[in-house]
Chains A and B, each alone.
Chain A
């Protein structure tokens, strides 16, 4: 028994439960927090815990990409926008009628999903507790091989769609003021200080009164 308690397997299972608990708690906090800055910070925490769960699956590339893309870039911009907004924290006024309808819909969806999952998916789940790969297994290679061989067309298509979306979003928000004085750095660089802006005057050095020593 003691042997099991210090084994790597037990440690991994404990880590799984700890991170799952933090993930679920943080996800709940995202929607229940009144202050939107806290919501965003809890969303970061839940991304982070999800990445930790992926690490337990030995999918280190996916986990680190999740942290890099969602935590390191997307959520920074989220926080950026939320901090600029002037949001007043509203006092709690109990459940509105929308909340009741929402809860009902959510409950219905939960029952539906449980029926589906119970019927089809539970027998298909792996029975082993832990995912173990052979030594030298590379998650990067695994992801790359399926992305660039089997799914190369959908992958490239998705990237083109994203690119089009980026260009469209920039074009839609691009506005230029009529009185905008655009600075052209390339012509700024060509301004010669000695010819165009300044006149260097030669003059005799003035005689000081020898107080400052050699300065």
Chain B
């Protein structure tokens, strides 16, 4: 009896480590991939020097060199900064970014917590990430940091509404808040995936996700040409590394969620009994990787939005479209349920 309880505790901890550790490694190599991919798109080389034991290995050891450098650097506290909140902010960013992964199903049944209200949990956790930014901006006692925090707060609150509405469409179509059930309701080849009946919501969800993670072209919270580096201008060393880790974990999160909600998660695009038609975690990784590539592609392609245009896009374009399409989906669900996943 006692042994069971203790074992359950350890088993859960092992599962958490099995999610977090690969996630950190993926974050490290995402930074490498970002620099290589954008380098390729702009006709540059990107990092290609740092290797192991004298071999260059296309610069594959670059993320580790960066990590070690960041960890060894000094954390500088600005004068009159609130030290406790200054250190709490990156922790909040990282904790909320990792906490959302608890309900992400990687494959059928391969999920840490298979809870009924998984979709609401994801929305709640991603909406908490903004506190890291706001508290960092305020605790730094710096004008630029505060400006970045205010920009970020307004932007995230605006785009969260569009994001939430896009997900309302998904839950009408699937009839469930459980992420595994949402994926299973899309079974039956690429034609049954939700991105076809919910196409406007799919586009809006991903673009809002880019805005929510403060990535280019919506990265005004850290717009280096206007407000130096925004909310993390005063951060250095390990504290800055945590912000970095949180931001990239959130990027992977949004990509994984787009794959789950609209692209059938771990399901195969093909139908039939062949090997390629089997549902597999590899499909999930491939879909997530595709959306991550889109993130990098956006950054290499688009110039930064002007702030009033960001607000206009969120409030005057995305939110009306999502409201209209929720109605469309609801009508389809009632009169032609076979059009969306049966």
Let me know if B2 is at the binding interface, CB within 8 A. yes
Q: A41-B85, A41-B135, A72-B124 are in contact. List 20 more A-B contacts (CB 8 A).
A: A3-B2, A6-B1, A6-B5, A7-B5, A60-B117, A60-B121, A61-B116, A61-B177, A64-B120, A64-B124, A68-B123, A72-B123, A73-B157, A77-B157, A79-B153, A80-B150, A83-B146, A83-B150, A139-B116, A139-B117
Q: A6-B1, A44-B131 are in contact. Are A138 and B146 (CB under 8 A)?
A: no
User: Considering only CB atoms, which chain A residue lies closest to B316 in the complex?
Assistant: A185
Closest chain-A Cβ to B20's Cβ sits at a distance in Å of 21
A-B contact pairs, 21 of them (CB 8 A): A3-B1, A3-B2, A6-B5, A41-B85, A60-B121, A61-B177, A64-B117, A64-B121, A65-B120, A68-B127, A71-B128, A72-B123, A72-B124, A77-B153, A77-B157, A79-B134, A80-B153, A83-B150, A139-B116, A140-B116, A185-B312
Contact residues of B with A, CB < 8 Å? 1-2, 5-6, 85, 115-117, 120-121, 123-124, 127-128, 130-131, 134-135, 137-138, 146, 149-150, 153-154, 156-157, 160, 177, 308-309, 312
Q: A67 and B124: CB pair below 8 A?
A: yes
Q: B128 and A67: CB pair below 8 A?
A: yes
Q: A60-B116, A61-B117, A73-B157 are in contact. Are A37 and B131 (CB under 8 A)?
A: no
Query: Which residues on A sit within 8 Å (CB–CB) of B115?
Result: 60
Distance between Cα atoms of A76 and B157 in the complex (Å): 8
Q: B157 and A37: CB pair below 8 A?
A: no
Contact residues of A with B, CB < 8 Å? 2-3, 6-8, 37, 41, 44, 60-61, 64-65, 67-68, 71-73, 76-77, 79-80, 83-84, 138-140, 183, 185
Distance between Cα atoms of A2 and B85 in the complex (Å): 40
Q: Select the residue from B120, B121, B177 with max chain A CB neighbours within 10 A.
A: B120
Closest chain-A Cβ to B120's Cβ sits at a distance in Å of 4
Closest chain-A Cβ to B39's Cβ sits at a distance in Å of 17
Query: Which residues on A sit within 8 Å (CB–CB) of B137?
Result: 83
Contact among B2, B5, B130, B150 with A84 in the assembled complex (CB-CB below 8 Å): B150
Distance between Cα atoms of A60 and B121 in the complex (Å): 9
User: Considering only CB atoms, which chain A residue lies closest to B171 in the complex?
Assistant: A140
Q: A2-B2, A3-B1, A77-B157 are in contact. Are A71 and B127 (CB under 8 A)?
A: yes
Query: Which residues on B sit within 8 Å (CB–CB) of A76?
Result: 127, 130-131, 134, 153, 156-157
Query: Which residues on B sit within 8 Å (CB–CB) of A183?
Result: 308
Closest chain-B Cβ to A161's Cβ sits at a distance in Å of 19
Query: Which residues on A sit within 8 Å (CB–CB) of B153?
Result: 76-77, 79-80
User: Considering only CB atoms, which chain B residue lies closest to A35 in the complex?
Assistant: B82
Distance between Cα atoms of A41 and B92 in the complex (Å): 13
Q: B177 and A140: CB pair below 8 A?
A: yes
Distance between Cα atoms of A191 and B265 in the complex (Å): 42
User: Considering only CB atoms, which chain A residue lies closest to B121 in the complex?
Assistant: A64
User: Considering only CB atoms, which chain B residue lies closest to A136 in the complex?
Assistant: B116
Query: Which residues on B sit within 8 Å (CB–CB) of A185?
Result: 309, 312
Closest chain-B Cβ to A174's Cβ sits at a distance in Å of 14
Distance between Cα atoms of A110 and B135 in the complex (Å): 36
User: Considering only CB atoms, which chain A residue lies closest to B130 in the complex?
Assistant: A76
Distance between Cα atoms of A41 and B128 in the complex (Å): 13
User: Considering only CB atoms, which chain B residue lies closest to A77 in the complex?
Assistant: B157
Closest chain-A Cβ to B301's Cβ sits at a distance in Å of 18
Distance between Cα atoms of A8 and B6 in the complex (Å): 11
Distance between Cα atoms of A64 and B116 in the complex (Å): 11
User: Considering only CB atoms, which chain A residue lies closest to B4 in the complex?
Assistant: A6
Query: Which residues on A sit within 8 Å (CB–CB) of B157?
Result: 73, 76-77
Closest chain-A Cβ to B317's Cβ sits at a distance in Å of 10
Query: Which residues on B sit within 8 Å (CB–CB) of A65?
Result: 120, 124
Query: Which residues on A sit within 8 Å (CB–CB) of B135?
Result: 41
Closest chain-B Cβ to A93's Cβ sits at a distance in Å of 24
Q: Select the residue from A41, A64, A72, A84 with max chain B CB neighbours within 10 A.
A: A72
Q: A83 and B138: CB pair below 8 A?
A: yes
Q: A61 and B5: CB pair below 8 A?
A: no
Query: Which residues on A sit within 8 Å (CB–CB) of B121?
Result: 60, 64
Closest chain-B Cβ to A40's Cβ sits at a distance in Å of 10
Distance between Cα atoms of A72 and B134 in the complex (Å): 12
Distance between Cα atoms of A153 and B6 in the complex (Å): 49
